[in-house]
Amino acid sequence: MPRCLHCGTQIKYGRTDKKFCCDQCKNRHYNEQTRSGRAFRRKILSQLVTNYDVLDTLFKAGVYSIDLIDIVTMGFAPGIVTSYRKVGKHEEFCCFDIKYIMTKMRIYSISKLENVSVHLQGKQ
Ligand SMILES: [Zn+2]
């Protein structure tokens, strides 16, 4: 017997592929999903801002390489990036316009992308 994804009540009537016992449970379930999706997005965005601030501070101070353990202490989260590509044997990451190479132990070659231009479609 299937159970309601929201309240766990056994669903006794209706199609066997029903996921919710009633419309209220269905609505609550999707509302919660939307809320947690937004909360997750906010969390990632705020971590990206923190990562950027840490990298920018290092770059402006002329520090272009640092042990991973030290940058993590500064609030940097290595798993949160805006882009990634493999360059030869290296793994190059970006946080917006700052790029760096990251290994298991160290971040190095911190630099800024040059000639960054942003084209917003439909906006002049
Ligand atoms: Zn229910």
Of the two residues 115 and 58, the one the predictor is more confident about is: 58
Distance separating alpha carbons of residues 117 and 120, to the nearest angstrom: 10
Confidence of residue 124 (pLDDT cuts 50, 70, 90): very low
In this model, does residue 123 exceed pLDDT 70? no
In the reported structure, the alpha carbon of residue 58 is separated from the centroid of ligand 1 by a whole-number distance in angstroms of: 52
Please answer whether residues 6 and 25 qualify as being in contact, where contact means their C-beta atoms are separated by less than 8 angstroms: yes
In the reported structure, the alpha carbon of residue 36 is separated from the centroid of ligand 1 by a whole-number distance in angstroms of: 19
The per-residue pLDDT for range 3-53, each reduced to its tens digit, is 999 999 998 877 778 899 999 999 999 999 999 999 999 999 999 999 999
Distance separating alpha carbons of residues 8 and 89, to the nearest angstrom: 50
Confidence of residue 120 (pLDDT cuts 50, 70, 90): low
Give the position of tokens 């929201």: 6
In the reported structure, the alpha carbon of residue 13 is separated from the centroid of ligand 1 by a whole-number distance in angstroms of: 13
Say what the pLDDT of residue 115 is. Answer: 79
